[in-house]
Amino acid sequence: MRKTTARLADGRQIIYYDEPGSARRTLHEDPRELPERAPGSELRTDPLTREQVVVAAHRQGRTHLPPSDQCPLCPSTGGRHTEIPSPDYDVVAFENRFPSLSGDEGRCEVLCFSSDHDTSLARLGAGRVRTLVDAWADRSAALAERPGIEQVYCFENRGPEIGVTLHHPHGQIYALPFVTPRTSTVLASARAHREETGGDLFEDVLSAERKGPRVVVENEHWTAFVPEAARWPVEVHVYPHRPVPDLPSLDGAERDAFAELYTDLLGRLDGLFGAPLPYVSAWHQAPVRDAEARALSRLRLEVFSVRRAENKLKYLAGTESGMGVFINDVAPESTARRLREVAP
């Protein structure tokens, strides 16, 4: 993979990740006259839960589901200039023009998976997923070095049912100035498990799931399974067999194996209802500065969907939204069986 860094018209960083065999990149200037960069977001703390809430009022004006000929993530052409000045690319990362976090409060980046507006990660193949793993790892390592950053979160939102604002295949990377509530809760469970049993929570979960009925697909280095207490009608967790805290810690063989397994899994997810599945794909990485938390943590990917049937969505109702108690209408064992039966 070849990495090339440049700047957009308003000073934001853009990074091209070119695959082997791609032509050597020529950097194109961004000729747009852009307004001043958005003001910083504001972090507030909920006194009841002590959780952080991000107030980012400037995002109300961000681009929302434009037609394909106005997509800001497509390559630039002679007659239209986008967020990517180049006429083509493999994978590219750049600072978000409408970030949820900015300045001293963190950083948000967009990661485009392909220059093809009409494709999807499921259709791009293992080679492109392998490039993405390297890009995720590279950006995670770089962002973790920024002052004040406590956790790096790589994710993909896919489908209008999830709430995406751009159809182009892409994900995002957030450099957070705090450890997320979900991570804090899981770390507390891992700590309690170690104190009570002397074992590693993630290793014990993985060992139990690999022996059970909910494994979807696995290879030498990874296992994908539907968790026993899945909250969502479609939910798959992907664990590496070797305990590592984050994406930069994966070796080459593990990255290759993930690319193959994840491509297989995405094909199964799209085949479940015979149509592209809306989902959130979320990488859980260890906090970057807390040595004890890093020792307790384990890298994992969690993919989940709001679709519960071919023509039905799961909406968070009173128990989920009001009290955080999830009710799953689909048995996890049933979801795992159906995914195993789908031809990827």
Catalytic residues: 170
Cα gap 267→255, rounded to integer Å: 18
DSSP β-bridge partners for residue 215: 225
Query: Under a CB-based contact definition with an 8 Å cutoff, are residues 240 and 248 in contact?
Result: no
Q: How far is CA 174 from CA 87, 137, 166, in A?
A: 26, 13, 17
Strands 42-45 and 13-18: unpaired
DSSP β-bridge partners for residue 309: 312
Cα gap 257→11, rounded to integer Å: 37
Query: Under a CB-based contact definition with an 8 Å cutoff, are residues 225 and 211 in contact?
Result: no
- With tokens 């906090």, the residue in question is 287
Query: In which region does residue 132 sit, left (phi positive, over 0), alpha (psi from -120 to 50) or beta (all else)?
Result: alpha
Query: Under a CB-based contact definition with an 8 Å cutoff, are residues 155 and 302 in contact?
Result: no
Cα gap 137→244, rounded to integer Å: 13
Query: In which region does residue 322 sit, left (phi positive, over 0), alpha (psi from -120 to 50) or beta (all else)?
Result: alpha
Q: How far is CA 100 from CA 165, 173, 282, in A?
A: 14, 11, 17
